[in-house]
Structure 1
Amino acid sequence: MTQEELLEQIYKKDSKAFTLLYDMYSKSLFGVIFNLLKDKEESEDVLQDVFVKIWKNIDSYNESKGRFFTWILNIARNAAIDKLRSKGHNNSLKNLSVDNFVNILDHNTSVTNKIDAIGIREFVKKLKPVCVRIIDLLFFRGYTQQEASEELAIPLGTVKTQNRNCIRDLRTILEV
């Protein structure tokens, strides 16, 4: 089934399409979510919420504004960031034992390998060093643009412009 056919079925709320959607994208979205949250159970919960959001909000997807995968990736990333900023998540971090930190480090390595396996980092490495740094902060580490501005000691407007330009450059690389 092509992506266009899949989208048609999703618009029609076909349950088989939902299963196919999950099978096609769950591993990639989980990797992005887990890379931000560093907790398997929370990441799985957020992943479920992401697929519900995709299903309920499919009518807001606009092909002319970007690729479907980019749209669902943004939903996943934003959901993970929302979870990170939530009061419940912050309180749960205070209660982690030392053993959990060892597990987090182990899981983080495997997620990094998964991201490398789907090739995202390889494409990002082809960009200018400033783009590599900005994309790393904003997309792989979950920084806000304001936080990236502070980390890089550059104006917020510059971060926004650079981010836009870097994403454009990345799209160009991906289209080749």
Structure 2
Amino acid sequence: MQQDQLIAQLQAGNEKAFERIYELYSESTYGIIHSITRDKEISEELLQDVFLKIWNNAESYNPDKGRFFTWILNIARNASIDKIRSKSFRNHRLNLTSDNFVDILESKSSIGSKIDAIGLQKYIDILEPVCKKLIDLLFFKGFTQKETAEELEMPLGTVKTRNRICIDKLRSTVIN
């Protein structure tokens, strides 16, 4: 079945189409969620929430605004960022053992495993270091632009401009 047909059937409320979409996209979606939350249980819970949002909001997908996979990943990314900014998540993190912090600290410096989960590694490798760092902080670690500016010790306006330039470079690399 073609992707366009599958999406149309999903938007019409076809449960089989939804099951097929889950089969196709759940692994990549889980990878994005887990790279942000770094918690297996929360990632599994969020994966279910994301696919529930996909089911409930399927009619809002517009192919003129972007690819279906990008739409799904944006839902997953936004849900994950909302979760890690929530008070309940912060309280949950207060009760973690030191073993969890070792993993978090080790993963802070490496964006490779996160971006490879969705197949972007080869495209990001060709970007200059500042772009790699910006994309890692803003899109894979869920930093706000203000937090990124503080982390990189640069003005907020510079972060915004460089982010736009880097995303444009990434977009042109992926499309070509």
TM > 0.5 fold call:
yes
Q: Deviations for 1:123-142, whole angstroms, at most 9, x for unmatched residues?
A: 11112222111101111211
Where in structure 2 are the equivalents of 1:1-176 lying within 5 Å? 1-101=1-101, 113=113, 115-116=115-116, 118-176=118-176
Aligned-partner Cα distance in 1 for 2:78–2:168? 20
Cα distance, 1:11 vs structure 2: 0.8
Aligned-partner Cα distance in 2 for 1:105–1:157? 28
Aligned-partner Cα distance in 2 for 1:77–1:114? 12
The answer to which of 117-126 and 144-153 deviates more is 117-126
The size of the alignment, in residue pairs, is 174
CA change 1:101–1:155 in 2 (3 A) is closer
Native 8 Å contact 1:39 1:104 kept in 2: no
TM-score by structure 2 length? 0.87
Native 8 Å contact 1:35 1:112 kept in 2: no
Aligned-partner Cα distance in 2 for 1:96–1:15? 38
Aligned-partner Cα distance in 2 for 1:141–1:106? 13
* Sequence identity percentage: 55
Aligned-partner Cα distance in 2 for 1:145–1:107? 20
Q: Deviations for 1:118-159, whole angstroms, at most 9, x for unmatched residues?
A: 431221111222211110111121111111122122232332
Give the letter aligned to residue 133 of structure 2.
Answer: R
Structure 1: 5+ residue stretches without partners: none
TM-score by structure 1 length? 0.87
Aligned-partner Cα distance in 1 for 2:155–2:103? 37
Aligned-partner Cα distance in 1 for 2:107–2:160? 31
Structure 2: 5+ residue stretches without partners: none
Aligned-partner Cα distance in 2 for 1:153–1:98? 28
Native 8 Å contact 1:138 1:145 kept in 2: yes
Taking only aligned residues, the RMSD between alpha carbons, in angstroms, comes to: 2.4
Aligned-partner Cα distance in 2 for 1:15–1:100? 38
Q: Deviations for 1:96-126, whole angstroms, at most 9, x for unmatched residues?
A: 1234446778999xx9547426431221111
Instruction: Provide the secondary structure at the position in 2 that maps to 1:170.
Output: helix
Aligned-partner Cα distance in 1 for 2:133–2:61? 29
Aligned-partner Cα distance in 2 for 1:4–1:18? 13
